[in-house]
Amino acid sequence: MINKRTRKNFYRALLGLLIFGCASRPAVRKLPQWVGDPTSIYPEALYLSEVGSGSSIEEAKKNAIYALSNIFSVDVSVDRTILEAYTEKRAGDKINVDHSINLLTRSALISENRLINVRTPKSFFDKKTGTFYVIAFINRQETEPIYLEEIKKNDRILINLYRSVQSTNNKLEKFTYLKNSIQIALIGEGLRSVHRIISGMNDTPLLAISKKNLEIELQDLSRKIVTRIRASGEHSRELSSFLREVVQKTGFSIGEENSDLTIKAQLNIKALDLPRNEKFVRWELRVDVQNSITGNTMKTFTRFGREGHFTLEAATSRVLLQVKKILMDKFYIEFNKFLIW
């Protein structure tokens, strides 16, 4: 039989073990407040901040920066081919299209990191879930002047372009300068959108020249520029259709009388007799453009190649798809360059 004293000692020992066990159990670390609310340490009035998580500290840091970069995700539908053609002609204006657009996209915090100082000062590891947390932030006061300076540069380029619009009587030159002005204005609007987010104040300067007014002026002028299309060859109908799309993408009207531009194009497709099961064709495309206003003629645009498929009809269809792609891309660029020159 267990006496009272023995029973008492047993309970004391058991209580001691329980106390020791509780004391030796590692304390569970709570998540820091900034994990759920980064503004708790970086006030929204002074900073833009986000938290990222991941299975490694590198992944958490990358996700934090990505989350922060969402503020730079501005949808700017800029026609780079127009700007590239203009930049090639007037390199002295130093239009850095990639730099300006980078400042509007998610790549801003990576591609422009020498300008935008992203800091990731704090991290935390949750042992319970095996998750790393990192906070990333940018200082509004440091970053705002970067965008303000880019806005001022954008305005200077826009004003100079519009002076060119006003100084020429050549319809095609005027059209090209207006089109470039609109592209620069689009970038300017995007820069202002990001600036408003970063500054957090209603102090973003207005666009130097209204984009809406530029678009109205361009629309009125485009109706007055007429392009005549002359396509020859077995597939002249398809070729004419492709070229109409190019002209419409440029913004000109299509007509026969009093034309300002004439586009002559020819597509030849010839079957090849090869010792293969598939059917092959060789093709050649030639396009000439004449400016009726100046008398200038664009250097003949030529492309050629070979396509194959199980039937001649299928091989020919592949050629037509390839030619359309070339006309809408490479020829479109050369066409716009010709208008500038």
> Can you tell me the distance from the alpha carbon of 337 to that of 341, in angstroms, rounded to the nearest whole number?
6
Query: How many structural domains are present in the chain?
Result: 2
Domain boundary among 220, 243, 259: 220
CB atoms within 10 A of CB 107: 16
Q: What number of CA atoms fall less than 13 Å from residue 55's CA on the CB side?
A: 0
**139 and 159 both lie in a single domain:** yes
Looking at the chain, how many residues does it have? 341
The pLDDT assigned to 81 comes to 59
Look at residue 10 and tell me if it is in a domain. Answer: no
**81 and 174 both lie in a single domain:** yes
**133 and 208 both lie in a single domain:** yes
- The answer to whether 70 touches 36, Cβ cutoff 8 Å, is no
> Can you tell me the distance from the alpha carbon of 193 to that of 147, in angstroms, rounded to the nearest whole number?
10
Model pLDDT for residues 234-249, shown as the tens digit of each residue: 899 999 999 999 999 8
Going from the C-alpha of 101 to that of each of 95, 106, 156, 252, the distances in angstroms are 11, 10, 17, 27
Structure tokens at 37: 């609310």
> Can you tell me the distance from the alpha carbon of 105 to that of 118, in angstroms, rounded to the nearest whole number?
15
Structure tokens at 92: 């002295």
In 3D space, the residue among 161, 197, 158 whose CA is nearest the CA of residue 68 turns out to be 197
Structure tokens at 187: 């970038």
The pLDDT assigned to 3 comes to 54
Domain boundary among 220, 242, 271: 220
The pLDDT assigned to 338 comes to 83
Look at residue 8 and tell me if it is in a domain. Answer: no
Which residues, at least 6 apart from 272, have a Cβ–Cβ distance to it below 8 Å? 280, 281, 282, 306
Domain that holds residue 305: 225-340
**210 and 236 both lie in a single domain:** no
**235 and 200 both lie in a single domain:** no
Query: What's the angle, vertex CA 226, arms to CA 225 and CA 227, rounded to 5?
Result: 125
- Compute and round to an integer the Cα radius of gyration of the chain: 33
DSSP string, 48-100: EEEEEEESSHHHHHHHHHHHHHGGG-------HHHHHHHHHH-GGG---HHHH
Look at residue 187 and tell me if it is in a domain. Answer: yes
**68 and 189 both lie in a single domain:** yes
The pLDDT assigned to 145 comes to 92
- Running along the chain, 341 residues long, what does each successive block of 10 average in pLDDT? 50 47 54 95 95 96 89 66 55 59 66 71 95 95 90 91 92 87 89 89 92 94 92 94 93 90 95 83 95 87 91 92 95 84 60
Look at residue 30 and tell me if it is in a domain. Answer: no
Model pLDDT for residues 27-65, shown as the tens digit of each residue: 556 899 999 999 999 999 999 999 999 999 999 999 998
**248 and 181 both lie in a single domain:** no
Look at residue 9 and tell me if it is in a domain. Answer: no
The pLDDT assigned to 218 comes to 92
Residue showing tokens 């440029």: 250
Look at residue 2 and tell me if it is in a domain. Answer: no
Coil vs helix vs strand at 126: strand
**177 and 231 both lie in a single domain:** no
CB atoms within 10 A of CB 33: 11
**Strand boundaries in the chain, DSSP class E:** 47-54, 119-126, 131-139, 226-232, 253-254, 261-272, 279-291, 301-309
**290 and 325 both lie in a single domain:** yes
CATH assignment at residue 335: 3.30.160.150
Structure tokens at 61: 């840091």
- The answer to whether 79 touches 332, Cβ cutoff 8 Å, is no
DSSP string, 5-38: HHHHHHHHHHHHHHHHHHHHSPPPPPPPHHHH-G
Structure tokens at 314: 């299928």
**119 and 233 both lie in a single domain:** no
Look at residue 20 and tell me if it is in a domain. Answer: no
Domain boundary among 220, 245, 267: 220
**183 and 295 both lie in a single domain:** no
**181 and 130 both lie in a single domain:** yes
Look at residue 198 and tell me if it is in a domain. Answer: yes
